[in-house]
Amino acid sequence: MNAYVFPGQGAQFVGMGLDLYEKYPAAQEMFSQANDILGFSIADIMFEGTADNLKQTKVTQPAIFLHSVILSKVMGDDFKPDCVAGHSLGEFSALVANGTLSFEDGLRLVAQRATAMQKACERVPGTMAAVLGLEDSIVEGICEETQGVVVAANYNCPGQLVISGEVEAVNMACEKLKKAGARRALVLPVGGAFHSPLMEPAREELAVAIEAATFNTPLCPIYQNVSTTAVIQAEEIKKNLISQLTAPVKWTQNIQNMAGDGASKFVEVGPGKVLQGLIKKIVPDAEASSAEIQ
């Protein structure tokens, strides 16, 4: 069974998508559409901007979405998913790739998500930290006993968990985690506390946009970050997508369930190779590769 997976924020790089633009008329058309929808030339920033330009949430999220979706489109008949999944933002790319959302609606939702998250970050300062080398239950326990808002946010693979919350609470939790034996508890250079209760204002704002968008019956199931099981009903997909902003990304469980349901070949569609590395740690026997274009 072929599973196609789509990366999230952090996979961006300067020059991303230029090879697709130069080679495929369909890509040129989609970049042009994207420039019109977003109201600025995202193509210019992706191809020739600085790393700092690309790091802005309002640019990063549409850029990764664009790269991933265009890549899935130009693969043509080679794109044959039996199921899909996306890491955080990547869930929107996956939903366009499997026909649930149109390209235009997907891009508008991603742009609205990025703006809403940016506003939530500015309202309450927050941060995230990567924790390596501890059992999930130990990390969860320390988050619960730490004063302030700090939660497990990204279950990336066994022994790699990201926590998220208020700056002071995350720093305190990091100190406790190191004492508990974490190989590393490192605050990340991110603009806010994604996948934590601090994103509630963004969740409320995005919920309105998601409810207004058209969700079609998908061509194949999506394994969502919140539920971690195969979903094909449009209403359930919507509900999970709305919950995603304040809920943890259960990537480990997602991949385990996909493999348990028969997925043996995972193809990463988008910039970077982060997901392949995680998949190899979650399901060592699985085949994981990058999407190839002719």
In whole angstroms, what is the distance from residue 30 CA to residue 173 CA? 44
In whole angstroms, what is the distance from residue 249 CA to residue 149 CA? 17
Q: Give the active site residue among 72, 93, 164, 195.
A: 195
Among residues 96, 99, 98, 116, which one has the least CA distance to residue 107? 96
E-strand ranges in the chain read 2-6, 83-86, 126-132, 150-157, 160-166, 184-187, 222-223, 230-231, 265-268, 287-290
| 3-class SS of residue 237 | helix
- Tally of CA atoms within 13 A in the half-sphere of 252 that contains its CB: 16
| 3-class SS of residue 45 | helix
Q: Give the active site residue among 67, 68, 87, 88.
A: 88
- 88 belongs to the catalytic site: yes
Contact between residue 91 and residue 85 where contact means Cβ atoms under 8 Å apart: yes
Helix axes 25-38, 103-123, angle to 10 degrees: 40
Q: Which residue numbers are catalytic?
A: 88, 195
